[in-house]
Amino acid sequence: MSDADDVIDRELTMSRAMVESIAHEMRENEEVFYMGEDVADYGGIFDSTQGLLEEFGRDRIMDVPISETAYLGAAVGAAQEGMRPIAELMFVDFFGVAMDQIYNQLAKNTYMSGGNVNVPLVLTAAVGGTYNDAAQHSQTLYGTFAHIPGLKIVVPSTAYDAKGLMHNAIRDDDPVMYLFHKRLMGIGWMPAPDGPKTPVPETDYTIPFGSADVKREGADVTIVTLGLHVHRALAAAESLAEDGIDAEVVDLRTLVPLDTETIVESVRKTGRLVVVDEDYRSFGVTGEIIASVADRDLDALDAVDRVAVPDVPIPYARPMENEVIPDATDIEASVREVTSGE
């Protein structure tokens, strides 16, 4: 990434980087197509398919009726028959109506068929809050999907990562859930923080799954996070640096497979672990990461904490939503707590 900064002049938003990789794969392989609600004429309500209809037409960029169970079932079938569908669940919160298609068909059909069928489907979905859309349109639900065997889970935090991970997702022969955070897409009515817009090569490239990225090196504490909270953790790290606390920020990039190696290596260096997640606190990413480190090297952990959404529905009202979704100040406070021991 750092050597790329010198030579790449153009920068892209995360949505444009995703679209560029999808368009590339569609040109290379006629089996790749995109289906979802408002993905054709509208270009995706979070710009996930902006401009694709003009190039590829309605046979390959398909608007579907509002029945997630019908079109996700159709996408699973198309994948099993040899096509490479990308199906978009407009908000991840809507997974409930298609839970059998996702949990029992998509995730398990390769296993249930004794390996006779592959399901090379990319299921994209918008995740996350911070814009007052209330409890049924603001969840991330990372843990809900990482929990079930059979799904790979991708959560990009920058345009560079989004493009490379999308290339890898479409070329993967197994089901991949690609969860993009609305706040990172770079859309006009929901300004992104500084950070997700990065230099992006025009050529195709892949980022392998299960490779976490150290977004900031530091010696005193390891902050493990993903998605929007990579940028909030980096902001917290900048502020902590002013007080001489040197935080390392590890961006998971994929939850399944999980790069435990990079996390443990970082914790062995710093001795302190703070896990930050925009999903609910209980039975989720934070507990899993901490348990994985404890399993591998309990002695490496001098202090540990987690920062996540408390176990409540995401409120609609702005001050209340801001209260429950972790911000840079919450991350800072947690880091100060775990580093105050000496």
Q: Which of 24, 137, 181, 231 is catalytic?
A: 137
DSSP secondary structure of 290-321: HHHHHHHHGGG-SEEEEEEE-SSPPPSSHHHH
Residue 326 contacts other proteins per CB under 8 A: no
CA distance 292 to 150: 19
Structure-token match 């005193």, residue found: 220
- Under the binding rule (CB under 8 A), the answer on residue 191 touching other proteins is yes
Under the criterion CB under 8 A, does residue 152 sit at the interface with other proteins?
no
Please report how close the Cβ of residue 191 comes to other proteins at its closest, in angstroms: 6
Segment 14 to 73, residues that bind other proteins, using CB under 8 A: 16
Provide the minimum distance between the beta carbon of 23 and other proteins in the complex, in angstroms, as a whole number.
14
Q: Is 147 a catalytic residue?
A: no
- Of 84, 152, 197, 306, the residue at the interface with other proteins (CB under 8 A) is 197
Pairwise CA distance, residues 40 & 133, whole Å: 23
Q: C-alpha dihedral over 162, 101, 111, 257, to 10 degrees?
A: 30
How many angstroms separate the Cα of 114 from the Cα of each of 109, 147, 339?
8, 22, 50
Closest CB 262 distance from other proteins, rounded Å: 30
Q: Which stretch binds other proteins (CB under 8 A): 9-17, 81-89, 239-247, 326-334?
A: 9-17
Tell which one of 188, 244, 319, 341 touches other proteins (CB under 8 A): 188
Contact between 109 and other proteins by CB under 8 A: the answer reads no
Place of tokens 């990789």: 21
Question: Which is closer to other proteins, CB of 5 or CB of 217?
Answer: 5
Of the pair 194, 243, the CB lying nearest other proteins is at 194
State the helix-helix crossing angle for 328-339 and 228-241, rounded to 10 degrees: 50
CB 221 within 8 A of CB 186: no
Q: Is 6 in the site for other proteins (CB under 8 A)?
A: no
Residue numbers annotated as active site: 137
Interaction site with other proteins (CB under 8 A) = 9-13, 16, 186-189, 191, 197
